[in-house]
């Protein structure tokens, strides 16, 4: 039966190679699976929900194509919600497949029940969810600070935000924008490339960087 790799990054600019290399090595050295029997599923989107095409294709394959193993670089690449994580692991194992998290050193459904692995998965999943929630809380605090500025009610909303009845709300691209701005701050991406990635101008990128409390 075929095996599968799942890899995810937040933006189109980020590279999946590190995750894929890690999973290929695991499949080859630990599972003895030929690359000819390997399907790869990719997403370039946020991990805060499961509305991802690559994720859904993987789950469909698990349920209909008899996938033997599903290999992921680390838990946070699969889900940033503990509930989504536990549901996914259950769906995989209930369909007779094993799921492996390479970096975390955890496997489920491989016939070697390890209660400690379950506990570790829950802890890592809870931490990934906590990180996502902290980011959301920081965003809300930033919005509150922004609302106190005099020009808030008259100017355009900041990059990544929309206005709803006079209130700032996160737009559809908010997670992607946060990831891109973080890469700019870490000197991993130029402002020009960031502007191209987000379909905006360098001036808008500069303004967003000056308002880091929003992101």
* Best CA proximity match to 50, nearest among 71, 14, 78: 78
10 given a catalytic annotation: yes
pLDDT digits (tens, 9 = 90+) for 30-65: 998 888 889 999 998 776 678 889 999 999 999 998
- Separation of alpha carbons 142 and 173, rounded Å: 17
Q: What is the DSSP letter of 10?
A: S
Q: Is there a contact between 105 and 111 (Cβ–Cβ < 8 Å)?
A: no
Secondary structure (DSSP) of 149-210: STTTTTSPPPTTEEEETTEEEE-TTHHHHHHHHHHHHTTSS-HHHHHHHHTS-HHHHHHHHH
* Span of 133-142, 168-177, 188-197 with lowest mean pLDDT: 133-142
Tell me if the pTM is above 0.75: no
pLDDT digits (tens, 9 = 90+) for 150-189: 445 556 788 888 877 666 777 878 878 888 888 888 888 8
* Span of 8-17, 39-48, 193-202 with lowest mean pLDDT: 8-17
- Separation of alpha carbons 167 and 159, rounded Å: 14
Is 134 or 98 the better-scoring residue by pLDDT?
98
Q: How confident is the model at residue 202 (pLDDT cuts 50, 70, 90)?
A: very high
Is 29 or 176 the better-scoring residue by pLDDT?
29
Question: What are the domain boundaries of the chain?
Answer: 3-125, 149-214
Residue 170: the pLDDT is 79
Residue 61: the pLDDT is 94
Assess whether pLDDT exceeds 80 at residue 106: yes
Assess whether pLDDT exceeds 60 at residue 9: yes
Class of the CATH domain delimited by 149-214 = mainly alpha
- Separation of alpha carbons 171 and 160, rounded Å: 5
Mean pLDDT within 84-94: 92
Residue 213: the pLDDT is 73
3-125: CATH superfamily:
Resolvase, N-terminal catalytic domain (3.40.50.1390)
Contacts of 33 (CB under 8 A, 6+ apart): 3, 27, 68, 69
* Best CA proximity match to 109, nearest among 139, 68, 63, 155: 68
| Most confidently modeled range among 7-11, 35-39, 95-99, 189-193 | 95-99
Using the structure block, give the residue that is written with the tokens 């500025």.
Answer: 149
């Amino acid at each position: 039966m075929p095996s599968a790799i799942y890899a995810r990054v937040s933006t189109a600019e980020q590279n999946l190679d590190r995750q894929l290399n890690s999973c290929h090595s695991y499949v080859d050295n630990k599972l003895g699976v030929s690359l000819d029997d390997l399907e790869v599923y990719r997403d370039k989107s946020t991990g805060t929900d499961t509305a991802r095409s690559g994720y859904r294709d993987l789950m469909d394959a698990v349920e209909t194509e008899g996938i033997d193993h599903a290999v992921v670089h680390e838990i946070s690449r699969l889900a940033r919600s503990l509930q989504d994580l536990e549901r996914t692991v259950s769906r995989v194992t209930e369909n007779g497949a094993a799921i492996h998290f390479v970096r975390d050193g955890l496997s489920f459904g491989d016939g070697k029940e390890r209660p400690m692995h379950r506990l570790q998965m829950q802890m890592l999943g809870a931490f990934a969810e906590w990180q996502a929630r902290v980011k959301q809380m920081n965003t809300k605090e930033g919005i509150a600070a922004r609302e106190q500025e005099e020009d808030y009610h008259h100017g355009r909303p900041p990059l990544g935000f929309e206005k709803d009845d006079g209130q700032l709300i996160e737009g559809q691209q908010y997670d992607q924008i946060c990831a891109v701005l973080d890469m700019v701050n870490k000197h991993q991406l130029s402002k020009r490339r960031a502007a191209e990635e987000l379909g905006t101008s360098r001036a808008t990128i500069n303004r967003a960087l000056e308002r880091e409390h929003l992101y």
